[in-house]
Amino acid sequence: MWLMISLIITLAWVVYINFYNARIFGMIVTKIINRWYITGAHFRLGSLSITPIAGKIISELYDKLEKTFGLSPSIFIPTDLSAEEKAKMKENEMNLENKRQNAFEKHKNSEAMNATTWRDLIPVIKIDICSGRFVFGNRLTPTTLSISMDEAHCTYSTKPAACQLDKFMHFVKAKVENSKVMFAPSPKYTGLADEPPRYMGEGFVVMMSNFMDLYFYMDEPGVVPDEPVHLTLANGDIIEPPPPQWGIEVKCGKGTDFSYGPWADRQRDHLFKFFFPSDWEEMQVDENPKAGQLRQYQTFEVTLCTFKEATIDILFSKDKETNAMHVTIGPGSSVEVSLPWVTHADGYQTKISGQLLHVEATTSLQYRSLADVLLKEFELLTLSNEYNWIDCSSTNQENNHLAFCGDLLDLSFVLPFDDFLPQTVELKFWIHGEGLDLSMYIPEVSSTRSIVLAIDDNAKIMTRGGEIKNRPELYSKKWRKICQRSSGWVDCWSVNIIALSITYVYHPCPPLGPDPQADITTPEKEEILLSPMRMPSKKRLSPNVNWQHNESYKFDPSSLPADKVTVDLEIGSSVMLAYGTVLRNFINLKENIFGEDQLFTDMEQSNVKMKDPGNSIQRNTCPIKKRTPYSNQPLEVIVSVMIHDIQAHLMKNCNENDPPCPVILIERLGFEMNKRYTETELQVLVSPSYLITSDTLVRPNRDKHINQGHLLLSAVQVRGHAMFSNEGCALDEDTLEYAWLLEIQLGKLSGKLTLPQLFNICVGLETFILLTMDPENCLKSPKMIRNCHHGVPTNQCPQTNEENKYKCPSCEDIKYTMTRVSIDAIDIYLVESGTALHTWISPIRLSTCNLHGQRVKSGISGLLPSVLLRLFMVNNGGSGNLTNSHSNTNTTGSNRSGRARKDGMSTYRSDLEIHAPDSKALPKRPQSSTELSDDVRRIHGLATPLRKITIPPRPEFRHYVHDVSRIDESIL
């Protein structure tokens, strides 16, 4: 009998353990969690089983229902109760509620006392884990988050809380070896498969490390006191008590690797929505706890730092091709994340701050180098090869570079993503730099490398203080890692401060989602998910979700509001070394970023000649992407550039006896551009430009003032207008430029020069033009066949007739161009000891276009209404009267009063071999308030005062001109 009873009990126990124990235990845990921890929602565990021997905790059913907005049905029963009876009923309900609250408080206090008792009994708990794994996910999520480790040693204990209002602080210290966090495919998942960019073992590894040190801390919140409490710090400051602390610190050792990307972020979003589903209503503001209630956690702090070198891989996939950005960070790098836990009146903010040391980034593309950052000064290297050719070899690269180096670079931006699909989104970027230099590198294979390096070694520069120094003497001791002079880098522009502001206002459109979900509608997704539980039926064709348009209807993108980009660039005082190669590289860099050559071409790739046009068409055919009209939003760009106080040196090679390079002083230079869908307007405005040059000829003391010459250009204005059309173009094709109008307006060019000074300027200009054009180092375009104006290769265009040798022209061939040049006047004196040649040309008008007439395609029209040449000389008889005259300025005449000695002047004029022309033939000029000195008047053979130009004195000009408050126009 006892045997039968034992067998029945054994059978009942086995049945209970296998079928009911997990469910009952899950029900008990569900009741406890819903009673004490869940408010405003419902939480349920279908079953929960713990296997100590295998070290497993398994939950087979997880369910959480959130409270959503909607209708709340209620039944109102009409009664005949009086107001007094209703008040008594409400009073009874309030008494019952107070009793429940008192019972709850007593139970909570007793539980707190019991918790304190067992913690005093067991102050420290140690847990050792060998080969552990934590899994989060099920068959309803495409991937499962798996956290595995080979060995872990954990210690749990308590210590005093950070604030005296809290009870104590829980903390767990753990040392984990060979840990790994990965996204693994969920078994029995029947939804759409989104393939990861790569697999490492069981799945996509997000993080792995050989050693990690974890520290988890959490304050046990106390009760809010009845009266406000303030804390006094050691320095005497009085502050409010901080909220309870809650966070985790992760310290990584050797062998730490991080992998992330768009695919991993999508999987994180799936899991987050599963465990924390959205309630689809506006978030309510969390009320501050009242007196007697528990204090609230405000944030959850996460800190991650590395003790050793770590790597970060950011993976991108496109058309099933994976590319990666590999980043290496040095020891001491850290990231801090503050996750908000309450909602305030203005919402909540997630703060992320990081510090990455010794950053070095490469890519898996053909040209691997991406970024190399050391947290001192910075160097930003760019490639400036023509037609965006790039030498991707690992050693001895033949690339032209422009590098931006400096002491400080500050980048700040605001991403206002606080609304769901708003009408417009405004993004603001602010870049601020100080102590910036522009460096240039020319490869060794270029023939201009030796020319530029020789000029940089031999050039003579006139500083702002008026001193003449050799170029090597001006090398400053700045931090450089790559852009060093010994490696062939040349500094060509120095700027004290620069500020760049970029504002981007765009119209967002509803995203279709990542591939392959982008091409599948929501009903189709539901059909695929529910297909395993439905009866088999005939396969239905999926509806075409692509936007279709009538052939006769042409959509005009200009009918949509344009996205707008506003760029404001302001550059402070700068010193420029004008090499022509710098301008050439700037143009190449602009075309590589914004022009037709945005896709680079590897120099090691050989261009295969296409023999069969049919094969080339098939080879170049790409699948047409599905587009909607809203994906063709036009773009409007407004650019404003302002450069202040420019000192530009026209670089040339200088011998020991040569004068310094000519210097150009510009007060302000402005550039404006407005680019729209159908046209582009731009203009350049330059304030009066002052060029100073000198020579080294030995002259008498009375002629030393002409050792320094100068030119003054009163103003420069350049205006351009480009016109575009989308006639005959598809929505995804660029508009065609059919006209380009350019107008250059120059003011008055005046000044005085000697022939050596003029030669000095011509040599500088010749060097600048030679290095700018550089015909020996021009590269061929990688596009062997140009596209015609229909957007297809010329040999594939239907309008091309090979028999008649007619090829469909390109957009550049049929574009109308017109250029107009206008100069107000040229008033230049070529002076030398005892002689002067005056050139007066006013005005000058030039115009050219490529559609000059019915019979002439291109031509030039010019207008020179007035050309005047005057020569002034001093004969031998008059030279003796000038022996004792001395000039006190090196630019114009003296500032002495012009007392006219009529007798001497009349005698001197009668002795001149070449007399000045009649005053009636001269251009009319208003008289100046101050006359020239007698000596200067005798040299030029003039008897009437001339008009003067008044230039306000500037401190930086006074070392060039002794007296700049008065400069006579006749001898400028």
Query: What is the mean pLDDT of the segment spanning 200-213?
Result: 89
Q: What is the pLDDT of residue 366?
A: 62
Task: Tell which residue, 788, 794, 712, has the closest CA to residue 747.
Answer: 712
State the sign of the Cα–Cα–Cα–Cα dihedral 855, 859, 865, 867. negative
Q: What is the pLDDT of residue 511?
A: 59
Q: What is the pLDDT of residue 910?
A: 31
pTM score of the predicted model: 0.62
Q: Output the six-digit token pair for 610.
A: 């296409």
Of the pLDDT bands very low, low, confident and very high (cuts 50, 70, 90), residue 248 is very high
Identify which has the larger pLDDT, 413 or 880.
413
Over 60: is that where the pLDDT of 917 sits? Answer: no
CA–CA separation, 543 and 815 (whole Å): 44
Q: What is the pLDDT of residue 719?
A: 95
Query: What is the mean pLDDT of the segment spanning 627-648?
Result: 85
CA–CA separation, 307 and 85 (whole Å): 73
Q: What is the pLDDT of residue 100?
A: 66
Q: What is the pLDDT of residue 760?
A: 92
Q: Helix count (H) and strand count (E) of the chain?
A: 13, 44
pLDDT tens-digit series, residues 467-512: 888 888 888 778 788 888 888 899 999 999 999 999 999 888 765 5
Query: What is the mean pLDDT of the segment spanning 108-132?
Result: 71
Find the Cα–Cα–Cα–Cα dihedral 710, 714, 716, 717, rounded to 10°: 180
pLDDT tens-digit series, residues 339-360: 998 988 888 888 898 888 888 8
Q: Output the six-digit token pair for 50.
A: 């713990």
Q: Output the six-digit token pair for 378.
A: 């910075």
Query: What is the mean pLDDT of the segment spanning 524-530?
Result: 62
Task: Tell which residue, 511, 626, 520, has the closest CA to residue 191.
Answer: 520
pLDDT tens-digit series, residues 934-950: 433 333 333 333 333 33
Over 90: is that where the pLDDT of 822 sits? Answer: yes
Q: What is the pLDDT of residue 365?
A: 67
- What is the per-residue burial (b if ≥16 Cβ within 10 Å, else e) of 366-403? ebebeeebeeebbbebebbbbbbbbbbeeeeeebbbbb
Q: What is the pLDDT of residue 141?
A: 87
* Half-sphere exposure for 827 (CA within 13 Å, toward CB): 21
- What is the per-residue burial (b if ≥16 Cβ within 10 Å, else e) of 248-283? ebbbbbeebbbbebebbebbeebbeeeeeeeeeeee
Of the pLDDT bands very low, low, confident and very high (cuts 50, 70, 90), residue 787 is confident
Least confident of 90-104, 744-758, 857-871: 90-104
Query: What is the mean pLDDT of the segment spanning 292-307?
Result: 92
Q: Output the six-digit token pair for 533.
A: 């539980």
CB-neighbour burial class of residue 674 (10 A; exposed 0-12, middle 13-18, buried 19+)? middle
CA–CA separation, 65 and 179 (whole Å): 33
CA–CA separation, 638 and 633 (whole Å): 16
Phi and psi dihedrals of 266, rounded to 5? -65, -40
Q: What is the pLDDT of residue 206?
A: 92
The H or E element that residue 12 is part of is: helix 2-15
Query: What is the mean pLDDT of the segment spanning 590-597?
Result: 81
Residues 6 or more apart in contact with residue 552 via CB below 8 angstroms: none
Query: How many Å from the N-terminal Cα to the C-terminal Cα in the chain?
Result: 132
pLDDT tens-digit series, residues 826-884: 999 999 988 999 999 989 999 999 887 777 788 888 999 999 999 998 876 444 444 44
The rounded percent of the chain whose pLDDT value lies above 90 is: 28
Over 60: is that where the pLDDT of 158 sits? Answer: yes
Task: Tell which residue, 921, 907, 906, 913, has the closest CA to residue 867.
Answer: 921
Residues 6 or more apart in contact with residue 909 via CB below 8 angstroms: 915, 941, 943
Ramachandran region, residue 108 (left: φ > 0; alpha: ψ -120 to 50; beta: rest): alpha
Query: What is the mean pLDDT of the segment spanning 50-65?
Result: 59
Give 561's DSSP letter: P
pLDDT tens-digit series, residues 166-202: 889 999 999 999 999 999 998 888 887 788 888 777 8
Of the pLDDT bands very low, low, confident and very high (cuts 50, 70, 90), residue 923 is very low
Peptide bond into 917 cis (omega under 30): no
pLDDT tens-digit series, residues 890-912: 333 333 333 333 333 333 333 33
Q: What is the mean pLDDT of the chain?
A: 77
Q: What is the pLDDT of residue 611?
A: 40
> What are all long-range contacts of 874-878, with beta carbons under 8 Å and residues at least 24 apart?
874/834, 874/835, 874/938, 874/939, 875/911, 875/912, 875/913, 877/911, 878/908, 878/911, 878/912, 878/938
